[in-house]
Structure 1
Amino acid sequence: MHPPRLAFVDLETTGTTPRSDRITEIGIVQVDADGIREWSSLVHPGRPIPPAIQSLTGITDAMVAGAPPFAALADEIARRLDGYLFVAHNARFDHGFLREEFDRLERPFRPDVLCTVRLSRKLYPQHRSHSLDALIARHGLQVHARHRALDDARLLWHFWRDIHREFPAGRISELVDALAGHVPWPDYLDPALPRLLPDTHGVYVMRDVNGVPLYVGRGARLRDKVLSHFQPGNWKSAKARRLAEQVRSIEWQETGGAIGALLHENRLLRALSPLHNRRARSPMPAGDTHWPYDGPVGIREARIIHVVEGWQFLGSAADDQALYDLLDGGRAEYDHEVHRILRDRLALVPLLQLDRRRTA
């Protein structure tokens, strides 16, 4: 059966980047055994709303001038979402913004998350677009105030009811369990892990009962990737089954993006030599191995900066002090694996030229 407690969530924001933009409105439709409850609030973002965003949403600076900041709403939002399946369209966006806001308050925020974009793709693979506007057109959903948080949250609730009229409840329940990470969890692992794992880029290490590294992996959706190891339908070999049976602890690190995941995975594979990874050494990159920059450079992904110098990965930093510590750690030698990872990627991303000299 589908989860009995659902929270359909939509946000309006000042932009698309959780780290630098802010929420301007939140809408929540709660559905449970007691019925349906709606709640919404404007949110003071603490900064001007760009004109293009004001035009899109209809939310102006004047409208949010007297609205409460997120910190004043955090208790109410947490209460309404606690114990509910967090349902949103392109859920990484809405969940990411809320998680960032709770992080700023140093409060945990780890709901189970269902993305209706991904659910629609599973149910309607014959269609190319699964945007909210596409769903509105395809399912004849009634629109009152598009790009306002509560009305868009209502659209998701209407979509949910529509698919239950079209598909068996068991079919939807299976998809929801898979997409939201509701998998049979081994009783020999920490039961809190599925809720703690982030839905972001990262790397992970699986260890056995003695702490011996068994497997190193990476994923764009770390939670989905780790949970997939414990879904029998994903076991392609007896080795995959044995790995799931041998794991007793899992540790992970968020990397900000795909490049950081590759760099950290390479470092962990080299340092740990996990038993279940098959790693063939890559050939030395052909051509010039000269480092083309004057000193170390930083690659920013989300809130994290990856530091590289001389084709050697020095580490990642999420704050100034950690960055200074990396730069103070000295220079490293050429690493052809890092060269292989970065040689075609550095030209595609903005780089920060870093200087070991700094004022006190």
Structure 2
Amino acid sequence: MQRDLVVHPHVTRFRLDRQPVFMVQEGGIMEGRKIHSAHTVMTQGMRLCSCFRSFPLAALLLIIAYHPLQAQVAVDFRSGRLALTTTDLTVPAGPVRLEIKRTLLSEKGRPGLLGTWWRLSIERRLIKEQNVVRMEGDVGSILFSREGKSSVYKNALGERLRIEENGRALWTKQDGTRETYDGEGRLIEIDYRNFNKVTFRYGPDKRLGRIEGPKQHFIKLFTDTKGRLLRAEASNGEQIDYQYGGDRLSQVRINGAEVFRYEYDTRDLLVRIEAPPTGAVEIAYDSQGRVVKRHFADGGMEQYGYSNAGNELSFTDPMGGVTKRQRSP
């Protein structure tokens, strides 16, 4: 059962290209300034198209875009979890882009370049388990099941993963892109076709040290003794510096100037984000780790409500407008 939604037209929170933007999206993929979704509502200049008064909703997404850092913040209406993906660095390399993109994990993961609570999109690893191969990345796991007794595995999308005799694995995606992993399961190459390749080079310590793309563009990575990323330097002169509090990412500095800070509670939940373009955002959670409030630097507040049965969800914007959704168990 799906109820109609009421979206208040006067909600602005972050700025995209210096214009107020409020975005509601179901299952869309956001990439830079391109929005890919069948259900996207955008208000600019404090206006909302009246034709989008009723539509299904799975997640409320608010976008921050501020050069060179771009962030995508989401509160998942199904789980109430906070999802945050940030592109710290983008290097145009001919027809492709080299990126440093990180995602906040919903639960503590294995130690990586950004500790155990954040994961870079390039930190993908294949793990072989009997008749299954699991790809672990920044957005969770993808399973590949073996086809009979062959060396070919297939995922839910029908994409094929082939294990070669030398231990390497080749993943062919639906769009023709091919990813190659070494015998240890590390990503070593992405082939975008037409000879456009991105290569990942690891040092003697087995840590990722350099990302190379077309036209001699690159990103060089520097890590500490614990294997955590301290700095990323790009061929275009951009530089990103990272600091940690314990095992948690606490600060990101952009080109030696702007600083983005993160604070966590005793449960390791992200409770405060300080971003130069918009000021601080404070986040409150319930006992189950679901977002219930977000306070913004201008005094505005958003509230999220969840029914005991888990099938009714609501969002209240700073102006009092309410978005509701009811779904079958």
TM-score (norm 1): 0.24
TM-score (norm 2): 0.26
Specify which structure has the higher proportion of strand.
2
Specify which structure has the higher proportion of helix.
1
* Structure label with greater radius of gyration: 1
